[in-house]
Chain A
Amino acid sequence: MKRILGSRSSQDSVASLIRGYMSGSVSRRTLLRRLSALGIGAPLATMIAARPYVVAAQATPSDLEPAGELTIVLPRSLESLDPHGAHSVEEATAVVLSMVLDTLIKRDPGTGDLIPGLATSWEATSDTAWQFTLREGVTFHDGSEFTSEDVKASLERVLELEGPLAPLWGTVDTVEAPDPLTVVINTTEPTGTVPVNATLLFIGPAAGIAADGFWNEPIGLGPFRFVSWVPDSELVVEANEEYWGGSPGLQNVIIRDIPETASRITALETGEIQFTYGVSADQLPALQENPDLTIDSTPSYAYYFNWFNAQREPFTDARVRRAMWHALDVETMASELLAGVGQPAQAPIPSTVFGFAAQTPYEYDPERAMALLEEAGYPDGFETSLQWNPDSGPQDRELVQAMISYWDAIGVTVENLEKERGIWLEDLVALNWDMNFQTNTVRTGDADFTLRRLYISSANRNGYSNEELDEILLASAATGDQDERERLLGEACRIIWEEAVGIFPFELIENYVYRTGIEGFVPAPSAIPEFATVRVPESES
């Protein structure tokens, strides 16, 4: 799969892609995306791909003899291991939890398809009920048996803690555990996103999850067992040979904390650590030249966007918003500033995400931008401001400066308001800004997570309100029919893009860097790398 992404050998790729698609291991979405990356036209690709959405029945088993250890460093420090509360969507937390805990449904890191996890099958038994059949004979790391009560307790805890994951489950009415291997989630209205959301629901034992200190030494169902954790220093896990999907290939995984990027890269080059990711654009060239290191890249779930406050003049006028977009040379910014870490976006969500539908790019055309401004009644431009925070994403400062000078060229003077994150966040939520530049991650890999949360009028995140868009977003969430969801979400992409609710310039690329010789790693667009199938060479064990 890796090779196909890099389009190193296109003839082989097409054949193997289509084979993969026929056998169900490659999704329609993945197929289309990769075919178009290989230069195969959309009509032909659509013909090839006219097959209904299927759930691939493949899991991640790897019956390996665990050996050796892998020391990894995450881009951000690990703050908490609690999967249900305030930290539940943080990447560092999710990376550790995906080793130690498990979910009902998983995402194939290579294809993005939903595949069985702790649930062997799932179906909508009515408009408002989803039933999951659980895997039999699975045990927690302490030997106790996994049952439907554990699922019920975990989901109820998410709802109770009201953390950032809770809104995903906003329509849940009751969770039932009619027998030890069946879970039924009843919702107050039709909710098609239940299976997708289940990929983020980490299951803990009903008996322990609410206990004080449990999440400092979690007991889970995952391929690795928790061993120890010293915050801001290191966390250790070991192979769980009893894992239902087969034993992992590593005996130990050590997650070290190295906050300073230069130190992290040095540690990787000296072999002190063997794996990291989230490296910046200026570090990439040196890493690429180093034969001891391998870089595995994939477009990610993260993207840049620049919102307009549609309640403030002159951004109430879509012509002004489009003018601002036409003023930017997105292609040049991507190649000059984001080489290797970003590329021009084609929709308000990244191309890796379910529900993505490619849109027509806004051409770089300052003349047209100025004509649009004149039409909207601003022949001499106007003054406005742009807010952002310095932790937002790669090369953020350079991008902001470049955008401001492009806008200057069409007569729009933009004040550069760089704000400390806490202050920026307060203003963002209070809609106290003209334009706002930031990154966002489609955490579930499903457009619903981002589009419905951010663009439905009642959320009032950017002052934009559109009844047609609201109806589409609500309808897409209500249906369990995945093709229909994909169509509706694609329609929402079109409206948001054409109305220029914001400028969507770039989608980001995740670069995983590791010591050459490490095998079995599949780069994940989610920025949550998985290690169950990874092996280290003998010499490094």
Chain B
Amino acid sequence: MSRYLVTRLGYSLFVLWGALTIIFLAIRIVPGDPAAMMLGPGSTQEDIEALRGRLGLDESLPVQYGRYLSDVARMDFGTSLWLNRPVASEVASRVAATARLAGAAAVIGLVVSFPLGIAAALRRGTPLDSLISVVSLLGQSVPSFWLGIMLILVFARHLQILPSSGSSGWSHLVLPAVTLAMPLIGVLTRLVRSGLLDVLYEDYVRTARAKGLSPRAVLVWHAMRNMLIPVVTVVGLQLGNLLGGAVIVETVFGWPGVGRLVVDAINQRDYPLVQVSILFITVSFVVINLLVDLSYGLLDPRIRVQ
């Protein structure tokens, strides 16, 4: 187990280094210049050159890359060119806001999709099953910018029971979290349904039934546990996506999350801010995947033995 963990951590470090390097190069390959963005359309070529010099952007790429890696290794993430504030604290507060949103969305997704998926599997072929299939397909395909604005129109504008945007209290969390949860509900409902259908006709389920267990106990202890691995995998991947991909929902609802920060940082060509935001997102992704991998062992003893 510990050797497995060490190997996994090694991979994770490699992934982080890869992400760091790719983003370092990508943001510099894109045309556009941080100094020009900072000075705006009124600036002259000389002003821009002078500022590039002060920011150290006139040095060669290998020199900049070396300094960047050594800074990151010493946990020195630098100062945002655009916001003129330490990058690390800026990104950390944004990641926290996004994590709150993604966490709420994940909870909503799980709470809604399990009952729906189970009901659809147990009533296979009935109108209820078809209805749930249609709803989950809709949930998966509806674009979040549209859904978000519709929710604002209904709940904020007409019913006036929820705020349209902001991030100060629980009430602000509801609409963006629901919007973000919708695709997750779609995916998970279908996954729970098909996973259950796969195992419901297995021999061990028939055995469990034959030995007189209640239908509920069969479902919870024998069927469900065996379909959890694909569900956990998908939830893990989706959580990673939620962290980096919540930018549309964050923009529609004015949520101060990391997705918006990355987009603004890219538009401003704020190299340190882009690099560190992506690094944070990568770390979250890697950690979640590591936890998912470790959870397999808990869910399925056979994996633990191997």
Q: Is the CB of A426 within 8 A of B33?
A: yes
Give the interface size bracket for B toward A.
35 or more
A258, B40: Cα distance in complex, Å: 23
Identity of the chain B residue whose Cβ is nearest the Cβ of A430 in the assembled complex:
B45
Bound together, the chains give a CA A258 to CA B51 distance in angstroms of 32
Bound form: Cα–Cα A459–B251 in Å: 38
Query: Is A79 close to B, CB under 8 A?
Result: yes
> Hey, what's the 0/1 contact readout for B1-44 against A, CB within 8 Å counting as 1?
00000000000000000000000000000111100111111111
A89 contacts chain B at the CB level, 8 A cutoff: yes
Contact partner of B156 (CB less than 8 A), chosen from A231, A260, A267, is A267
Q: Which chain A residue lies CB-closest to B51? A: A162
A-B contacts at CB below 8 angstroms, number: 129
Is B111 in the interface zone, CB < 8 Å from A?
A: no
What's the nearest-Cβ distance from chain B to residue A69, in Å? 14
Most B Cβ at <10 Å: residue of A80, A267, A430, A459: A267
Q: Chain B residues with Cβ under 8 A from A258's Cβ?
A: 164-166, 254
Q: Flag whether B108 is at the interface (Cβ < 8 A).
A: no
A86 at the interface (CB under 8 A from B): yes
A429 near B156 (CB under 8 angstroms)? no
Q: Are B164 and A270 in contact (CB under 8 A)?
A: yes
Chain A residues within 8 Å of B253, by CB: 260, 263
Among B83-91, B127-135, B185-193, the stretch that binds chain A is: B83-91
Closest B residue, CB atoms, query A215: B84
**Could you tell me if B43 and A429 are in contact, using CB atoms closer than 8 angstroms?**
yes
**A218-226, A415-423, A492-500 - the one binding chain B:** A415-423
**In the assembly, what is the distance between CA of A270 and CA of B40, in Å?**
36
CB distance from A245 to the nearest CB of B (A): 30
User: Do A420 and B152 have beta carbons less than 8 Å apart?
Assistant: no
CB contact under 8 A between A80 and B42, given known A263-B253, A267-B164, A422-B33: no
Q: State whether the Cβ of B149 lies closer than 8 Å to any Cβ in chain A.
A: yes
**Is A257 positioned at the interface, with any CB of B under 8 Å from its CB?**
yes
Residues of A within 8 A of B269 (CB): 422
Residues of B within 8 A of A89 (CB): 40
A484 at the interface (CB under 8 A from B): no
| Given A266-B153, A426-B33, A429-B45; A232-B261 close (CB under 8 Å) | yes
Residue among A257, A267, A438 making CB contact with B41, cutoff 8 Å: A438
Q: Does B84 lie within 8 Å of A86, measured CB to CB?
A: yes
Smallest CB gap from A233: residue in B: B256
Do residues B261 and A423 form an inter-chain contact, with CB atoms below 8 A?
Answer: no
Q: Is the CB of A259 within 8 A of B152?
A: no
Determine how close the nearest CB of chain A comes to the CB of B89; give it in whole angstroms.
10
- How far in angstroms is the closest Cβ of chain B from A47? 38
A-B contact pairs, 10 of them (CB 8 A): A79-B83, A162-B50, A260-B254, A263-B149, A269-B157, A420-B267, A422-B30, A422-B269, A425-B33, A453-B42
Sorted nearest first, the 10 A-B pairs with minimum C-beta distance are A422-B32, A232-B256, A258-B254, A233-B256, A86-B38, A423-B31, A263-B165, A258-B165, A267-B164, A266-B164
Q: Which residues of B contact A (CB under 8 A)?
A: 30-33, 36-45, 47-48, 50-51, 81-85, 90, 94, 149, 152-153, 156-157, 160, 163-168, 251-254, 256, 260-261, 264, 267-269
